Structure 1
């Protein structure tokens, strides 16, 4: 029979690495992972913890017997022996490294590695740390779209984290002092976002922001930033709209990507700062009135119904708003400035 080509070997190793990732994500043990690797490369495999043999597909090997990769964070080694076929050494190294990372995930029933990984991803380290991105694959970030949810639970964040792990065991989750961050995957971007929204609704959170879904582990930081922007808006709202996705934010999606947020806040302050000062001094809900007015396309009667006040009250407030801001809301340019300023303040707060 002809010997397998190097391309064929590469495909077999890649397939084995994918099976390792899937097995690690569902919590497979070292013995199963060693078996997957051995079948993929056609070589005996031994998993060591120190010098103790944890799993072996044949006679136990030592690091001197083949290619060895360290199980993070230095907790052991995966040793791959001499393959039956002509598998290039670099492919054996790659396969051994994948298996080592998968074993690290298998040793993590409490989710400590997932938490550490997520904190690193949130800091954007995956953009310049290839090993971190590979580890992410073994901990559940499998190349499908993933969305970040930032949740403010009614209960203790640690209890909320435990509940999320029950509902979504493959999610990466970390609890902070006042929030829980979760990364959830699905087959499509829309499904990943919907899954995050459903989780927030299921937990009954005080507020939540959901970022867009991306396939690359390096984009977790981007989705996290979007989720925090959505959360900031959600926490300022009352009523049912306490769970917001980044896509719900309308023009704030563009504002959130503006490179100089201080400049945005300065613009909002310049346009409606005096109005906000007057509201703080008198308690008159000018900002809510202006928001309702824009939402109903400038109809005082509809704004009055939305706010449950008399139309004359809306008319008085709108006159006062124009006096305080110097804007003429019947003019398109002034109305656009006011709408953008309201969105900035609603989404980012004052300068």
Structure 2
């Protein structure tokens, strides 16, 4: 490059651009080849097809050359289209920007080659052209980045709506077998295994278990969620039943409100039934936060199958006990449950509750007097066990 033949800066730039355009097809091929060779996401061609890549490279090279020529300062359609398309294709943002840097590097090399072949182009004009190329690169990057993020947010919102609808189908319990398979496949859940349904109390617009999905993933538990105005519902897939305690501990750690959990169940089509139990556990959770799990026993399951009838039966069986102050009633019911766990032994129940066996016997006599049942009668004991379970497990006024 010499300054023997004088030309203006704009004339020099225009000459360089015109010369570079004569080799544009080869430039596009070089850029596309480098991108496919150097960036893994583009290599296979199944994410971004070769023809799509070449068309995108051509559009963006044209955009930069037009920008340098002063004809595309307000037209950002090419980088906008690239950003949106790559987001929709699932190309990582970093790799999209790397592909663009590769393209700009090849374009600059072509511009320098064109300048060297032209007589009378001052070196200062080439230096100024470099600044214009970098400015165009920044403008392009900003436009492509904004479009990518906007499209990615829209895709995420769409996916969240779709996933919430799939979770609703799962929890409704009415999906046909084929539909259930499709839903499970879309949510990446097995049809058989070890499952939990979670119902968490919430406030409008606030997730009651922040970071639950990622925290559960750490312990190899897959979860899908649906957030409503009053409750957040989740279906959890555990590696095995032994993880139940660990899952409840994780949920309790991250909970900001009360949580109800179903018992472990083995078939995904039971999710609708498990949701009822999780809601019942939530209703019986008397704390401000923490997890209450519905007990997995035949009596509890039968109680949950007809909750209204179970509560009416409990009122009839417990009778006069329900007239006692709540603290005193809970003391007697807790003593009865300990006595049942101790197989009717006052000594063992007293050891569990840290009180004298005679205190246990006194409380049991009060239960007999208040209910009219005789604890020596197995039938009466069965009625009391069912009534106490219903009263303790089901929400009531």
Report the Cα offset of residue 349 of structure 1: 4.5
- CA distance in structure 2 between the aligned counterparts of 1:239 and 1:321, rounded to whole angstroms: 31
What runs of 5+ residues in structure 2 fail to find an aligned partner?
Answer: 1-41, 50-83, 90-153
2:163 is aligned with 1:122: no
Question: Does residue 268 of structure 2 align to residue 222 of structure 1?
Answer: no
TM-score under structure 2 length normalisation: 0.50
Residues 168 and 289 from structure 1, CA distance in 2 versus in 1: closer, same or farther, beyond 3 angstroms?
Answer: closer
Whole-angstrom distance in 1 between the partners of 2:205 and 2:264: 23
Distance in 2 between the 1:319 and 1:294 partners? 14
8 Å contact 1:157–1:178 — kept in the other structure? no
Confirm or deny: 8 A CA contact 1:268 1:344 kept in the other structure: yes
- Deviations along 1:74-98, one digit per CA (max 9) or x if unpaired, are xxxxxxxxxxxxxxxxxxxxxxxxx
Q: CA RMSD in A?
A: 4.4
CA spacing shift, 1:281–1:192, aligned 2, 3 Å = closer
Residues of 2 paired with 1:150 and 1:179: CA distance?
A: 10
Q: Does 1:340 align with 2:389?
A: no
1:88-140 CA-partner distances (Å, limit 9, x unpaired): xxxxxxxxxxxxxxxxxx93367332223223332234248x55752442132
Counterpart position of 1:327? 373
- Which position in structure 1 is the counterpart of 2:7? none
Q: Is the Cα contact below 8 Å between 1:144 and 1:186 reproduced in 2?
A: no
* More moved, 194-203 vs 335-344: 194-203
Counterpart position of 1:15: none
Q: Which structure's residues are more often helix, by fraction?
A: 2
C-alpha distance 207-163 of structure 1, shift in aligned 2 (>3 A): same
Aligned counterparts, 1:90-101, within 5 A: none
Measure, in 2, the Cα distance between the counterparts of 1:291 and 1:107: 53
Unaligned runs of 5+ in 1: 1-30, 39-51, 56-105
Secondary structure at 1:145 match in 2: strand
Instruction: Identify which of 223, 234, 248 aligns with 1:197.
Output: 248
Alpha carbons of 1:223 and 1:283: their partners in 2 closer, same or farther (altered >3 Å)?
closer
Picking from 289, 295, 300, the partner of 1:252 is 300
**Distance in 2 (alpha carbons) for counterparts of 1:282 and 1:345:** 15
For 1:284 and 1:198, locate their aligned partners in 2 and report how far apart those are by CA, in whole Å. Answer: 26
Task: Determine the C-alpha separation between the residues in 1 that align with 2:289 and 2:341.
Answer: 16
In 2: Cα distance, 1:167 partner to 1:284 partner? 35
CA offsets 1:313-344 (integer angstroms, 9 cap, x no match): 33332222211211111222222221221112
Distance apart, 1:142 and its partner CA: 4.2
Residues 327 and 334 in structure 1, CA contact (< 8 A), matched pair in contact too: yes
Label 1:124 to 1:330 Cα distance change in 2 as closer, same or farther (>3 A): same
Alpha carbons of structure 1 residues 115 and 245: separation in structure 2 relative to 1, 3 Å: same
Q: 107-116 or 315-324: which moved more? A: 107-116
Report deviation, 1:201: 4.6
1:151–1:179 Cα contact (<8 Å) kept = yes
- 2:156 pairs, out of 108, 121, 139, with 108
Give the conservation status (yes or no) of the 8 Å contact 2:203–2:229.
no
Asked whether the 8 Å contact 1:148–1:196 carries over to 2, the reply is no
Deviations 1:194-251 (A, max 9, x none): 67435425535754413333444x4321232233344455x259999x543552x452
* Structure 1 position 182 matched with structure 2 position 259: no
Shift of 1:278: 2.6
| Pair 200,153 (structure 1): closer, same or farther in 2 beyond 3 Å | farther
Structure whose alpha-carbon radius of gyration is higher: 2
The Cα of 1:176 is off from its aligned counterpart by: 3.9
Stretch deviating more after TM superposition (290-299 or 119-128):
119-128
Task: Find the residue that maps to 2:343 and give its secondary structure.
Answer: coil
Taking structure 1 as the reference length, the TM-score comes to: 0.56
For 2:289 and 2:160, how far apart are their aligned partners in 1? 34
Residue 289 (1) aligns with residue 335 (2): yes
- Count, aligned residues: 251
- Determine the C-alpha separation between the residues in 1 that align with 2:384 and 2:198: 29
* Cα pair distance change 1:282/1:261, threshold 3 Å: closer
In 2 relative to 1, CA 162–326 (structure 1 residues): closer, same or farther, beyond 3 Å? Answer: closer
> Would you say the 8 A contact 1:160–1:180 is kept in 2?
yes
